[in-house]
């Protein structure tokens, strides 16, 4: 029986009784294609395995959520002794430690893309014989969307800032499983592939149970339940809005973001978090009801204990924002902001520095305490406001943002202009979620506030574009 040179991680389907127990991972270095795709269960386990592996430290379980990517955004006041992350505060990508982390992101992403391409290949081979039409469309749709998402984030890391560099050669895009290295594409062609995958995913997901039933999905089918833990129809729509904004297609970004806002308001899908949820004894620190797509990660508490617990960690292993920067971000008038009260309202002195304690990933027993946010409703409001600003509709933009902020416990924002307020919102809303650096890159910001609290840091292509690893031929 033919063996495949790629890793499939089998994930047992979650049970309806306890969604928090759905991560039961059974890894295998090499699994035969027939075993993996010879049954519906095999398809489910293989696709679930991709979701599990997105939680790896090299991807959204650390590096691309609260780790390296947030260091690049100058989120933390990092000691020079913290050798794993300090080079990234200087955008020094040449050292062995930095190169190892960069290679880990590249290799893990393309490995999962290879797995997704195998899933897609077998969807076509086994439609009807193994997969019913319902499962065929859902599995294919999610696989296409995940393939687009991984490629897009690779581009945002290793590709050029898009605007003005559309003809620049970037990185490969794999639309099928191959042991050969694909050619690197021009930025515009690469992004056309991302968009095509997302458009095709939306076609496949047109009957996603999230549309009729919200995140509860299909009753009686655990694989089609908890749709906010999968890249569902609405999350894919939001991702396409994000992608459209990245390439400057504001017409499409406006239409798609408004589609999510409308469904949010009309059906009360992905509702705004309420104060009682934020201020409870186990607060919902990530505002889970608003998450269009998030990863369930049973090791979230380890993120806090290994990176953010200032009561226990020393400066050589601590990621913590500068207390002065947080005080500026949340002046006295903004101290009722839910994001401050749940994630940044504590301080500590470590190594002679006054630091804020980042608490978003403290963890807990509830599902919302075990989630890594990937796509939020709030981003759709930000896209809407940014497009209004670009069109000179500053009053409308301020109204969009002000109305949104009532759902963060703020009645009157302290920023004087809508652009200042939007910048502030990206800093507040996506703390520890990996979006701020990409916001700066999309807008080609030439300088940002230094994470130490002193001065600014200059940014350009040398800082915004990570070097492709020397071993970039290791696609599989």
Domain assignments of the chain as residue spans, ordered by start: 8-269+436-464, 307-357
Strand-pair category, 371-376 with 291-296: antiparallel
In this structure, CATH architecture of domain 8-269+436-464:
Alpha Horseshoe (1.25)
Q: Which residues contact 58 (CB under 8 A, 6 or more apart)?
A: 101, 104, 105, 107, 108
For residue 189, with 0-12 CB atoms within 10 Å meaning exposed, 13-18 middle and 19 or more buried, which class applies? middle
Q: Token pair of 449, please?
A: 């506030």
Tokens 């499983």 appear where? 177
> Which pLDDT tens digits describe the chain residue by residue (476 residues)?
233 344 444 332 332 223 333 333 344 444 578 888 999 999 999 999 999 999 999 999 999 999 999 999 999 999 999 999 999 999 999 999 999 999 999 999 999 999 999 999 999 999 999 999 999 999 999 999 999 999 999 999 999 999 999 999 999 999 999 989 999 999 999 999 999 999 999 999 999 999 999 999 999 999 999 999 999 999 999 999 999 999 999 999 999 999 999 999 999 999 999 999 999 988 999 999 999 999 999 999 999 999 999 999 999 999 999 999 999 999 999 999 999 999 999 999 999 999 999 999 998 888 888 999 999 999 999 999 999 999 999 999 999 999 999 999 999 898 789 999 999 999 999 999 999 999 999 999 999 999 999 999 999 999 999 999 986 644 43
Q: List helix spans (H) across 279-393.
A: 300-303, 323-329, 338-343, 377-390
The model's pTM is: 0.94
């Amino acid at each position: 029986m033919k063996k495949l040179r790629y890793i499939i991680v089998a994930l047992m389907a979650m049970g309806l009784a306890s969604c928090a127990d759905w991560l039961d991972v059974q890894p295998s270095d090499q699994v035969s294609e027939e075993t993996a795709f010879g049954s519906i269960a095999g398809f489910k386990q293989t696709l679930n395995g991709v979701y599990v592996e997105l939680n790896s430290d090299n991807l959204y379980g650390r590096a691309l959520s609260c780790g390296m990517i947030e260091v690049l955004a100058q989120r933390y006041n990092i000691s020079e002794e913290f050798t794993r992350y300090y080079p990234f505060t200087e955008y020094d990508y040449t050292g062995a430690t930095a190169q190892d982390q960069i290679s880990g992101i590249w290799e893990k992403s393309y490995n999962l893309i290879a797995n997704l391409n195998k899933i897609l290949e077998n969807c076509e081979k086994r439609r009807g014989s193994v997969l019913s039409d319902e499962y065929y469309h859902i599995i294919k749709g999610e696989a296409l969307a995940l393939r687009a998402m991984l490629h897009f984030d690779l581009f945002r890391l290793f590709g050029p800032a898009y605007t003005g560099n559309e003809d620049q050669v970037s990185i490969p895009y794999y639309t099928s499983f191959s042991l050969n290295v694909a050619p690197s594409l021009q930025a515009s062609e690469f992004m056309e592939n991302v968009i095509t995958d997302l458009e095709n995913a939306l076609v496949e997901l047109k009957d996603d149970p999230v549309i009729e039933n919200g995140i509860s999905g299909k009753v009686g089918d655990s694989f089609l339940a908890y749709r906010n833990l999968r890249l569902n129809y609405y999350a894919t729509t939001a991702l396409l809005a994000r992608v459209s904004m990245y390439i400057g297609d504001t017409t499409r970004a406006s239409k798609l973001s408004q589609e999510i806002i409308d469904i949010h308001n009309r059906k009360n899908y992905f509702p705004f978090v309420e104060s009682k949820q934020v201020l409870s004894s186990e607060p919902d620190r990530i505002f889970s009801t608003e998450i269009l797509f998030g990863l369930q990660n049973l090791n979230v508490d380890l993120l806090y204990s290994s990176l953010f617990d200032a009561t226990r960690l020393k400066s050589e292993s601590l990621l913590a924002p500068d207390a002065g920067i947080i005080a500026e971000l949340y002046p006295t008038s903004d101290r009722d902001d839910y994001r401050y009260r749940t994630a940044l309202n504590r301080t500590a002195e470590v190594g002679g520095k006054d630091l804020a304690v980042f608490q978003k990933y403290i963890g807990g027993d509830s599902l919302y305490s075990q989630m890594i946010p990937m796509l939020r409703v709030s981003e759709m409001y930000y896209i809407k406001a940014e497009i209004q600003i670009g069109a000179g509709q500053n009053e409308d933009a301020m109204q969009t943002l002000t109305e949104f902020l009532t759902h963060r416990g703020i009645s009157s924002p302290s920023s004087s202009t809508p652009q200042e307020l939007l910048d502030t919102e990206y800093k507040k809303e996506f703390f520890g979620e990996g979006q701020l650096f990409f916001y700066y890159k999309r807008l080609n910001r030439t300088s940002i506030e230094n994470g130490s609290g002193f001065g600014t840091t200059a940014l350009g292509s040398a800082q915004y574009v990570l070097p492709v690893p020397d071993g970039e031929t290791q696609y599989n």
